Amino acid sequence: MKQFFSQRLQRHQKQMTRYLRYVFNDHFALISTFLVGGLGLYYSELLKTLPRPFPLGGVIVVAVWLFVLPLGRLATLTKPADLIFLLAKEGQMTSYLSQALRYSLWLPFGVLFLTVGATMPLVVVTANSTFASFPYFLGMMWLLKLGDLSLQRIRLYQETQQQVKQQRGIWLVSALVAALASIYLVPWLGLVISILQAIWFLFGVKSNRQLLDWDYMIQAEQSRLMRIYRFINLFTDVPQITTEAKRRKYLDWLLAKIKPVHSNTYLYLYLRRVIRGGQYGGLYVRLSLIGGFVLFFVDELWISLLIGCLFLYLIGFQLIPLINEFQYMVLTHLYPVPEKQKAAAIKNSLGTLTGDRSSFRRDLLLALAFCLARRYRVSWLLRVCGSLFRHLFTRAIKENACLIYKWLLLQKANAYALDGDPLGS
């Protein structure tokens, strides 16, 4: 079973490597450089203003550590077919899950390394500690994560839900005590407590039943993979992501503003797709809120305007695949709607979502986010920029519709090629 897990792990890593080259591209590196540099500068300036010692900083550090600890799930790499084909090997799954536990420790180690490293300056200010204590804090966090993953492994067995709930409380208390002891007492004491809890959850806690809960294990693994695929889907198409339409009846009043006439057919379809589908609506909401959050901390008018225009561009760029959304819908070909109505509908849709249509001004999430960010002048200037942007952007889309269509098909083909399965199964 160890060799079987190694084979699955190799295939999984090969697939993830193909996707990650689209995630960690030049744009991602550039944005990360500016983001980390800006946050680092703000963090260093903030630390200079804090008194020494700063007791409240310990509470902040402990809260951050406890927030990061649950991140990272047990990667079993199981598949739905295992319920049938691996059932006969259930007695040998112990070694398989042990391998999964070891593999699942490495990614959290990287996250914990960065988190502890980022909080070390605040720890030094808080507890008059030194940077030489970093290995103690990192070892403590890694051992606490080992206890968390051990509990996740126990939960894979039948009739362990109540047992894991009870042990989860013990783990939370031990994590809190270890973190507080390392900050306010001595660092090595937190490490000792984490060692004791790791030994307890690895060897002291045993499942009441030896039969695996295959349904739960497969469902947990599929949920873990879907979270990864959703993140990758922000950068490229992933065949495993299936869009699910939701009714969202509470948003029907937004569409009631569209006149039910023949010329608004595609406008209604596009905006209904944005509202009902999680892909476009979610991107629009996230980018709008992130834009408002960033503008909240920017005081310079022209910098705020540039950032706002950047988010207008990002929203419009993310809505490009909307053009091809109803390409394979039979009714749109049977219904006598001229093809040129698509360009006009896309233009009006972009105007609605970027703040150019007056009938939607009161309901525009982007303008609301900017107004909440106390940038009223930026909000109105962005309407002017949004009008110009909408005109140029939709004109470019109209003139290069054929190229855009080919580009969208190429993106789909690349996604299936990365998956290694043309059917995306």
- 209-252 pLDDT per residue, tens: 678 889 999 999 999 998 888 888 777 767 777 666 677 777 77
Residue 52 has pLDDT above 70, yes or no: yes
Residue 87 has pLDDT above 90, yes or no: no
CB burial readout 279-305, b (16+ within 10 A) else e: bbbebbeebbeebbebbeebeeeeebb
Distance CA 376, CA 110 (A): 41
- Binned at pLDDT 50, 70 and 90, residue 373 comes out as very low
Residue 363 has pLDDT above 50, yes or no: no
**227 and 283, same domain (yes or no):** no
Which one of 186, 205, 232 terminates a domain?
232
- Residue 415's pLDDT is what? 54
- Residue 159's pLDDT is what? 84
Q: 424 in a domain, yes or no? A: no
- Residue 264's pLDDT is what? 79
Q: 193 in a domain, yes or no? A: yes
Residue 358 has pLDDT above 50, yes or no: no
**294 and 363, same domain (yes or no):** yes
Q: Which of 221-225, 278-282, 359-363, 400-404 has the lowest mean pLDDT?
A: 359-363
DSSP symbol at 261: S
Q: What is the percent of the chain where pLDDT is above 90?
A: 19
Which one of 167, 201, 232 terminates a domain?
232
Residue 378 has pLDDT above 60, yes or no: no
**317 and 353, same domain (yes or no):** yes
Residue bearing the bigger pLDDT, 205 or 383: 205
- Residue 365's pLDDT is what? 45
Q: Which of 18-32, 46-60, 402-416 has the lowest mean pLDDT?
A: 402-416
**144 and 192, same domain (yes or no):** yes
Residue bearing the bigger pLDDT, 391 or 274: 274
Range(s) of the domain holding residue 196: 2-232
- Residue 149's pLDDT is what? 93
Check: CB of residue 215 under 8 Å from CB of residue 83. Answer: yes
Distance CA 109, CA 178 (A): 18
Residue 67 has pLDDT above 80, yes or no: yes
Average pLDDT over residues 136-155: 93
**71 and 123, same domain (yes or no):** yes
- Residue 115's pLDDT is what? 92
Q: How many CB atoms lie within 10 A of CB 52?
A: 10
Q: Count the domains in the chain.
A: 2
- Binned at pLDDT 50, 70 and 90, residue 25 comes out as confident
- Binned at pLDDT 50, 70 and 90, residue 69 comes out as very high
Q: 148 in a domain, yes or no? A: yes
**263 and 337, same domain (yes or no):** yes
- Residue 173's pLDDT is what? 94
**135 and 9, same domain (yes or no):** yes
Alpha helices (runs of H) in 200-244, residue ranges in sequence order: 214-232
| 249, two tokens | 């009846």
Residues 6+ apart with CB under 8 A from 298: 304, 307
Residue 390 has pLDDT above 70, yes or no: no
- Residue 49's pLDDT is what? 83
Q: How many CB atoms lie within 10 A of CB 257?
A: 12
Q: 244 in a domain, yes or no? A: no
Helix (H) or strand (E) holding 262: none
- Residue 162's pLDDT is what? 87
Q: What is the percent of the chain where pLDDT is above 70?
A: 76
Nearest to 323 by CA among 310, 338, 306, 342: 342
- Residue 362's pLDDT is what? 34
Residue 380 has pLDDT above 70, yes or no: no
Distance CA 112, CA 115 (A): 5
Q: 259 in a domain, yes or no? A: yes
Q: 240 in a domain, yes or no? A: no
- Residue 347's pLDDT is what? 67
- Binned at pLDDT 50, 70 and 90, residue 352 comes out as low
Which one of 205, 232, 259 terminates a domain?
232
**204 and 270, same domain (yes or no):** no
The mean of the pLDDT values for the chain is: 77
Q: 196 in a domain, yes or no? A: yes
Residue bearing the bigger pLDDT, 418 or 252: 252
**110 and 172, same domain (yes or no):** yes
**228 and 304, same domain (yes or no):** no
Q: 241 in a domain, yes or no? A: no
Average pLDDT over residues 298-304: 69
CA dihedral 379, 385, 391, 397 (to 10 degrees): -90
Distance CA 121, CA 52 (A): 12
- Residue 425's pLDDT is what? 36
**211 and 360, same domain (yes or no):** no
Question: Side-chain half-sphere of 257: how many Cα atoms within 13 Å?
Answer: 16
Residue 372 has pLDDT above 80, yes or no: no
**338 and 408, same domain (yes or no):** yes
